[in-house]
Chain A
């Protein structure tokens, strides 16, 4: 077995082994746990780096294991994998650091970090999956490992949210399973293939393929929070801040979006999907979700709830970019997978810092927060401006390519959607920034429990949002270099058309 055949397994193992070891360790072994966590996360980044180089060189990185005749379990790194796995690897490290600070001295940390590592293993598996079956397996593992994280606090609301999450995602999974079996009957075994795997099928299967497409997209759409399947996401924001951060930026929501990406590009193929005529429907659904999520976000006073509805809206940019035929919109959609991740994770970190340090949960309590926590609110501001699409931040790059792609393919109505959504983004983010920076503080903070020291809050909590906010700036400012998400997404787009 060569190194490159082993590499995908090693990437999974870094977090799987970490997770298992953490479960074996005692609850009170905090220091060992921290070392293990950080070691695993750093090792994973190194391995993903090796993988990037291999894929860039055109080296086949694949583990294949036949467990039933005609049914392979495939882990393979292609260009699309790299996009998702490098995002997960980097954000896992950052979130681990954050979670260590966030959960300091709180109960059940062993359980938390154990499932946390398993959750990342599942996410990595989703990104490495080389066919639908493997994808589905990890996708399900992801559902099961995130449930304990969502319900970590064990309160009534979090249990209710967890239950809702399970109900929604399991129904989605049932749809995916049905579609997968149906597709297997029609097309036999196939792997994810750039430019599509089932384009060879006879035209008489057209109607069936259309139904299967919507079953798959609908199933993945649950996690991607496509309206009206989005209801679980705003409820799940009762989870601790690091979980919300990971949920919204990489793990769950993105796994759904990534599923849609795989279905359109590597199962059907984007040109074949366009021939089937399914893309306009997906475009309409995502456009609707973009507007709907933003409108709902406008009316939320709870900060995390507003951010959650903002995710509903922003993740659909990915689906929108996927649903428009043409390289530019593909670039815009896929690059948003990474960009939305770093922007939204920054905002959830900041929301967590406000809650942990000052006890702020509602937007109306944020007046003057900029003066008390300038670094946190500075990072939040960068991310919020990025979400609105202000250049030269990351969000602008996504919007620019989406806009250019829409104009290229003649879908001018998309420009209207982007414009309205930018307006709505500004309408729900700018008041937050205004309150935090320009309004004087009113009375005491709701629950200030971190004493003022050298920094505005614990460094474990402060460093992660600063790093990710810096990434938001760098990903936009240096988008044209060879090391940006944009550059990688351009490689993907070249391979998909």
Chain B
């Protein structure tokens, strides 16, 4: 699989160490000398070791002395994830050099960009539970700083919501991982799926894993942070958020969920349904978005929905699990690069370095990436969609028939999303108010990424699929949804020429529903607490309370209330813990 070079263990160890420590070291140096242009200029080069590893032999290094034992290695999934992640991080880092050249906070941005990069590439190389957990956390928390980069109110809000869900994910991961770790010698990832399959808490663990990693993967209904956070980050950061980091959730599933070892059809059905909901719902909400980056964020939810369908099929039926996992990785590879290119294009549209002809080239690149996402012939999308449809044909129960037309519908949705994106991008190109001057060097990373998209389309993806795919799906079956989508888009464009023909669904869609529910719960809780306080007031210190109330002595009232509040909190917690214990015991 994609192996181009051979090297020995020492070289491998050096490359692994460079992949992880190179960016961290550079970040540390940048923290010391924030204005050193040379250091910033070095940052894209830190992905090169990872790129070599992607094309290198399958090796592993184990160091029992570090933390609770560190194991890093490249296996087939790691090679595929490394390939697109390294390219994307490198191009986005390179892009960022010019894009943020005059930004006051560029040093801080680069430092956290490098840290997130080390986390993302590290979690791909991780072959033990703790290292995976650490790298995942490093990536999640570092990218928070990228989300809130511009310090605007919208970014801070997005950052808060992102951080809350990221922490929730970490905590759920911790619970799942520590249960799993007791059953896995050395906490080795290769032994994890079997241990989960054999665990008496198999189903609970699977739910925990699906939820905790699903936050990153944009699994509905945990996706609410994504359309808020992805667009507000600086454009190159959006590219890696939506192209590379979003896939970390998928890799986690592939590493931890016992695909092929234990089938759980019910969960599989739910997951397929959620995936379709994300895929179709993402398209519907996405076309209403005004900003091209918001459209792209919803497109990511939509595309991840298709990957989630594959994961669901793999979970439901053991016999197709390996195949489904491969298709999911292929889809991740294909989507990662194309989505990265689309995001960088938004950056070019607002920086205007190449004049009118340059903007035409940007549009052409976007059309190409968009067609690829929709699954047009002679693109990586066609192969990815073929794999998807073949796996869908093996889905359990009545799903094959339903999936047949629903996936076509999703392709129509993707085409409409891309059309909407192009329209909004064009509007951005024409609106000089958003433009800022950027050095022409910014064309290089974009061009390299475009070439990478093409290379992946015509070399890597065929290489990966050839042994498995058999006959390519009839091209017209993939093409009619695109033609239909284009037709609908053109017709609609003729009919309604105004920029915002339909009301925009607020980004984060169901988030306000959560807010409402949370508020409801809060006020209920507050009411309960007040009742508890009143009860304690009557039983515990009623004499004092009466005296205090009678005297209306403010200071004493405050003091008494403080004490009572303490008692209430204590009582409340005691009750909770008693319940908890009760559940634990019985």
Contacts and interface: CB of A to CB of B under 8 A. Distances in A.
Nearest to A399: B174
B174 A292 contact: no
A52 interface: no
A288 B141 CA distance: 29
Contacts of A476: 67
Contacts of A438: 148
B130 interface: yes
Given A291-B573, A422-B171, A480 B137 contact: no
Contacts of B175: 403, 415-416, 418-419
Given A392-B67, A413-B583, A404 B167 contact: no
A404 B181 contact: yes
B171 A419 contact: yes
B356 interface: no
B570 A228 contact: yes
A25 interface: no
A422 B574 contact: no
A411 interface: yes
Contacts of B67: 391-392, 396-397, 476-480
Contacts of B148: 438
B580 A413 contact: yes
Contacts of B3: none
B203 to A, nearest CB: 14
Contacts of A108: none
A390 interface: yes
Interface string B530-571: 000000000000000000000000000000000000000110
Contact of A423 (B63, B130, B171): B171
B179 A407 contact: yes
Contacts of B137: 390-391
Nearest to B180: A407
B64 A291 contact: no
Contact of B584 (A392, A404, A411, A423): A411
B577 A291 contact: yes
Nearest to A486: B68
28 contacts: A284-B577, A284-B581, A288-B574, A296-B569, A391-B130, A391-B137, A392-B66, A397-B68, A400-B68, A400-B178, A403-B175, A404-B178, A404-B182, A408-B182, A412-B584, A413-B580, A413-B584, A418-B175, A419-B171, A422-B174, A438-B148, A476-B67, A477-B67, A478-B66, A478-B67, A479-B67, A480-B64, A480-B69
Interface in B137-180: 137, 141, 148, 163, 167-168, 170-172, 174-175, 178-179
Given A391-B137, A481-B65, A415 B581 contact: no
B565 to A, nearest CB: 10
Looking at chain A's contact residues, the main secondary structure is helix
Contacts of B473: none
B55 interface: no
Contacts of B179: 407, 412, 415
A417 B65 CA distance: 29
Contacts of B134: 390-392, 396
Looking at chain B's contact residues, the main secondary structure is helix
Interface of B: 63-69, 130, 133-134, 137, 141, 148, 163, 167-168, 170-172, 174-175, 178-179, 181-182, 569-570, 573-574, 577, 580-581, 583-584
Interface string A384-407: 000001111000110110011011
A422 B175 CA distance: 11
Q: Which of B64, B68, B569 has the most CB of A within 10 A?
A: B68
A287 interface: yes
The 5 closest A-B pairs by CB, nearest first: A403-B178, A413-B584, A391-B134, A480-B65, A419-B171
A295 interface: yes
A423 B174 CA distance: 11
Contacts of A412: 179, 584
Q: Which of A292, A296, A391, A416 has the most CB of B within 10 A?
A: A391
A337 interface: no
Interface of A: 227-228, 280, 284, 287-288, 291-292, 295-296, 328, 389-392, 396-397, 399-400, 403-404, 406-408, 411-413, 415-419, 422-423, 426, 430, 438, 476-481
A418 B174 contact: yes
A413 B580 CA distance: 7
A372 B212 CA distance: 37
A382 to B, nearest CB: 13
Contacts of B569: 292, 295-296
Contacts of B182: 328, 404, 407-408
A408 B179 CA distance: 8
Contact of A413 (B68, B133, B581): B581
B64 A400 contact: no
Q: Which of B130, B178, B181, B584 has the most CB of A within 10 A?
A: B178
A288 B577 contact: yes
Nearest to B168: A423
Nearest to A439: B151
A288 B573 contact: yes
A423 B167 contact: yes
A26 to B, nearest CB: 45
Contacts of B172: 419
B30 to A, nearest CB: 13
A463 to B, nearest CB: 18
Contacts of A228: 570
A288 B581 CA distance: 11
Contacts of B580: 413, 416-417
B566 to A, nearest CB: 8
A205 B64 CA distance: 46
A476 B131 CA distance: 12
Contacts of A296: 569
Contacts of B581: 280, 284, 413
A415 B67 CA distance: 20
A399 B137 CA distance: 15
Contacts of A480: 63-69
B517 to A, nearest CB: 19
Contact of A400 (B130, B577, B584): B130
A426 B137 CA distance: 13
A477 B24 CA distance: 15
Contacts of B171: 419, 422-423
A309 to B, nearest CB: 12
Nearest to B584: A413
Contacts of B583: 413
A295 B167 contact: no
Contacts of B69: 480
A296 B581 CA distance: 22
Contacts of A413: 580-581, 583-584
B178 A479 contact: no
A373 to B, nearest CB: 14
Contact of B570 (A292, A397, A417, A477): A292
A422 B169 CA distance: 12
A389 B133 CA distance: 11
B330 to A, nearest CB: 31
A290 B475 CA distance: 61
A400 to B, nearest CB: 6
A422 B174 CA distance: 10
Contacts of A403: 174-175, 178, 181
A328 B179 CA distance: 13
A427 B174 CA distance: 17
Given A400-B130, A412-B584, A479-B67, A406 B178 contact: yes
Contacts of B65: 478, 480-481
Given A328-B182, A403-B175, A404-B178, 9 more contacts: A288-B577, A296-B569, A397-B67, A400-B181, A407-B182, A417-B580, A419-B175, A477-B66, A480-B63
Contacts of A397: 67-68
B120 to A, nearest CB: 16
A435 to B, nearest CB: 13
A287 B577 CA distance: 8
Contacts of B68: 397, 400, 479-480
A57 B66 CA distance: 25
